[in-house]
Amino acid sequence: MPNQNMCNCNEQPNLIDISNNHSDFKSKLNQLEIGDWVLLMQCPDCKQLFKVDEWDKYQICYAIKLPSSKNWESFDSKSMIKEKMVKDRGGLSKEKCMWAGCHIKKVKGSAYCVNHLYEGGARA
């Protein structure tokens, strides 16, 4: 008999953009702890842990799969988000970042490298 309530955590990437389905995504999880603009949540079906960004209408919200709840709030999501930003924007260009003194290649379609895009507030 197929289980209608089976979660799909396994099929999800490690980094999930939940900007457009924030409350829907959260509604399927149990909240374990509240951090600084982030939540520790767990899937009741498969016990997968997630670090979930609090809703912010001005910002892209992400959920990240966590290997454990230990130091969950400081789990590094930055590098995963940067990696996704580069990928979603089509990779790196051949030229260097416009930021003075920065020698990192800029992201395609942008004047800056991913670090400076991130520091400027970009999350996608």
CA atoms within 13 A on the CB side of 106: 12
Contact between 92 and Zn ion by CB under 5 A: the answer reads no
Give the nearer residue to Zn ion in terms of CB position, either 45 or 54.
45
Among 6, 32, 34, 46, binds Zn ion (CB under 5 A): 46
Based on its alpha-carbon atoms, the radius of gyration of the chain, rounded to whole angstroms, reads 17
Could you give the CA distance from residue 113 to residue 1 in angstroms, rounded to a whole number?
Answer: 51
> Would you count residue 60 as binding Zn ion (CB under 5 A)?
no
Residue 82 engages Zn ion in binding (rule: CB under 5 A): no
Distance (Å, rounded) from C-alpha 54 to C-alpha 116? 23
Element housing 84 (H / E): helix 78-88
Listed residue (102, 124, 101) closest to 113, CA to CA: 102
Of residues 19 and 99, the one with the C-beta less far from Zn ion: 99
**Which range, of 8-16, 19-27, 29-37, 68-76, touches Zn ion by CB under 5 A?**
8-16
118 interacts with Zn ion by CB under 5 A? no
80 binds Zn ion (CB under 5 A): no
The three-point CA angle 71-12-114 to 5° equals: 70
Stretch that binds Zn ion, among 11-19, 42-50, 55-63, 84-92 (CB under 5 A): 42-50
Which residues of the chain form contacts with Zn ion (CB under 5 A)? Answer: 7, 9, 43, 45-46, 48, 97, 99, 102, 104, 113, 116
